Amino acid sequence: MTTYSLGIDTGGTYTDAVLMQTENGEVVAWSKERTTPHDLSIGVGRALAAIFRQEVKPENVARVAVSTTLATNAVVEDRGARVGLFVFGHVRHFKLPVVANIFLKGGHTITGEEDETLDLEGLVDTLAGLAGEIDSYAVCGAMSIKNPAHELVAREAINLIDPKPVFCSHQVSSHPGMLERSATACLHAKLMPLMTEFLASIQRSMLAVGLFCPVTIILGNGRGADLEQVVDRAAVTMASGPAATARFGAAAVQGNALVVDVGGTTTDVCLIREGVPQLNHEGCVIGEWRTHVEAVDMYTSGTGGDSQVVCQRDGTISLKKTRVQPLAMTANLPDPSEWLDGEFEACLILPVPGLDRTLLAGDQVLAYLDRQGPATPRQLAQQTGLSLIYLEKKLERLAFLQQIVVAGFTPTDALHGLGILTIGDGRASCTAASILAQQAGLTAERFCRHVVTETEKAIEGILLTYLCRTIWAGDQAVPLLDRRDNELFSMHFSLKLPLIGIGAAARCFLPGVAQRLGTTVSFPRYCEVGNAVGAAQIGLDA
């Protein structure tokens, strides 16, 4: 009987599934469905249902291998659980992008002896003010890798006062370096609820189609792990998607190449040397986070097909790192001419269908959206009496809880406006493009082409940033890249590496990027679902 490996990749925009023969690695079926953030099992279930419309039966699948960019996306977009960090010891203060960074006395010496008594009273006093603002905690003590006593005591104290998940740095990293160890613990705390829900959605979707085989979760280093090993160590999946990207790209090249995955939320880049993905054993860097998580040597930035386009009154067009739902992909969208006003009303807030009535009644914003329908942030502020600053934080929280959808104009809409894409409702995209183009003093077509060009420039910058970090230590080249086009001179770069494109948006943007960088780009077979193929390939090794 022929057996199969099933690869699943869930990104911020699409969920892909690939069915691959175990014996020869041949892809026999694949599917691509929109990710459903409010209930991930819906998108995963649709992708699996499309796969099993073929003649293959679920009982013939020997293993399911899963990769995801959800963790990476959450880090880049600054989403996830609200984390409070406690650091103990005589250490130089540092800042991580969490709700609170608290430094207290405590810690141990390099030999594991207590350096200073733990300030337990300060910990308890601080917790009283944090309890309502925090979803999970991270604790990091000086030299806890030699003696974790203070971290363990702090964990017990937190559990007694505010029983929420607590992540100790000694459990997630055995390396010195307080900043990296703290960041690694914080990421576990930040991503754990997201990954718990994702893994539960995979299990629900498998049961719905009758899949009962073992499941492998792809880790950032390109290896696989069982479900149970991942739930409490969520950050190890942070580069899961890029690891699958690297595996797929490595199979398509014999020498050196730059693999570029252009998704809806992010662009991921990794280097292939002599057909082998490069690993960063010291720990990967994503945005502001420098960690101890072993992963493929990669770089991720928040630019993709669903990045929000911002148009200023002076005609300047830019891309935000936050993902919004393209207008072309938004169901029941009011005509953009009724609400879109570029600078002031650039996005629309919609309630997620099917929310519990009690939940709707208990929240001022959700109750208004339920009664009146979609609204802009300014309309919400006027009707609810909330300040725009408070409302912004409120909407971030509701988006994290998957209770609202934020829709806006994106590069995907620009492609619809140009007739390059036809997978959604292009009428909404065209109407919005006309409104924004008038504000910028352009025709709708020129405006859409300008958006595509700005997206290509942003991806070009991501590639150059990654390569400069590979050649020079740290961020030494960042000032150079930021000012490579100024009032006195301009610089142009030429790559010595070919590009390999992966992802739904790759064919739309990478040819222009390759031309700008004086190189070539190729799109291997099944590149649209390349991460799912890479996951299935890793699953074959399990």
Band of the pLDDT at 290, cuts 50, 70, 90?
confident
- Predicted confidence at residue 342, as pLDDT, reads 63
Which amino acid is located at 472 in the chain? Answer: W
Residue 64, pLDDT above cutoff 80 = yes
Query: Can you tell me the mean pLDDT for 272-278?
Result: 89
pLDDT at residue number 39: 86
Average pLDDT over residues 157-168: 92
CA 344, 338, 371 angle in degrees (round to 5)? Answer: 95
In this structure, is residue 88 part of a structural domain? yes
* Domain stops at, among 400, 418, 447: 447
Q: Which residues pair with 103 in a beta bridge?
A: 87
- Cβ count near 307 (within 10 Å): 27
| Full residue range of the structural domain in which residue 430 is found | 307-447
Q: For 114, which DSSP code?
A: B
Two tokens at 358? 């009690």
pLDDT of residue 67: 92
Would 69 be classed as within a structural domain? Answer: no
The per-residue pLDDT for range 203-234, each reduced to its tens digit, is 999 999 999 999 999 988 888 888 777 766 77
Tell whether 411 is covered by a domain: yes
Q: Is residue 399 part of a domain?
A: yes
- C-beta of residue 195 within 8 angstroms of C-beta of residue 231: yes
Residue 41 placed within a domain: no
Going by DSSP bridges, is the β-strand pair 325-326/404-408 parallel, antiparallel, or unpaired?
A: parallel
Q: Which of 164, 189, 214 is the last residue of a domain?
A: 189
pLDDT single digits (tens) 383-419: 999 888 889 889 988 988 889 999 999 999 999 999 9
User: Where is pLDDT greater, at 111 or 282?
Assistant: 111
Confirm whether 298 is domain-assigned.
no
pLDDT at 374: 94
**Helix axis angle, 364-372 relative to 388-400, nearest 10°?**
80
Q: Is the pLDDT of residue 312 over 80?
A: no
Give the strand pairing for 215-218 and 166-168: unpaired
Alpha carbon distances (Å) from 129 to 53, 84, 535: 54, 11, 44
Edge-to-edge strand order for the sheet containing 347-351?
Answer: 325-326, 404-408, 347-351
Specify the pairing of strand 4-10 against strand 14-21.
antiparallel
The reply to whether 455 falls in a domain is no
- Strands (DSSP E) contained in 127-171 are 136-141, 166-168
Instruction: Concatenate the DSSP letters of all residues of 329-376 into one string.
Output: G-TTPPPGGGT-BTTTB-EEEEEPTT--HHHHHT-HHHHHHHHH--B-
Tokens of 110: 């390099």
| C-beta neighbour count of 230 within 10 angstroms | 25
Q: Model-level pTM? A: 0.85
Q: Does some domain include residue 341?
A: yes
Q: How far apart are CA 7 and CA 529, in angstroms?
A: 10
What beta strand segments (E) does 105-179 contain?
A: 136-141, 166-168
CA–CA gap between residue 112 and residue 89 (Å, rounded): 13
Please tell me the total count of domains within the chain. 2
Asked if residue 182 and residue 311 are part of one domain, the reply reads no
Sequence-separated (6 or more) residues with CB below 8 Å from residue 367 = 360, 361
Distance of CA 309 to the CA centre of its chain: 18
pLDDT at 344 (0 to 100): 64
Range with the poorest average pLDDT among 58-62, 70-74, 374-378, 510-514: 70-74
DSSP tag of 132: G
Of 412, 447, 482, which marks where a domain is finished? 447
Residue 330 burial class via C-beta count within 10 angstroms: exposed 0-12, middle 13-18, buried 19 and up:
buried
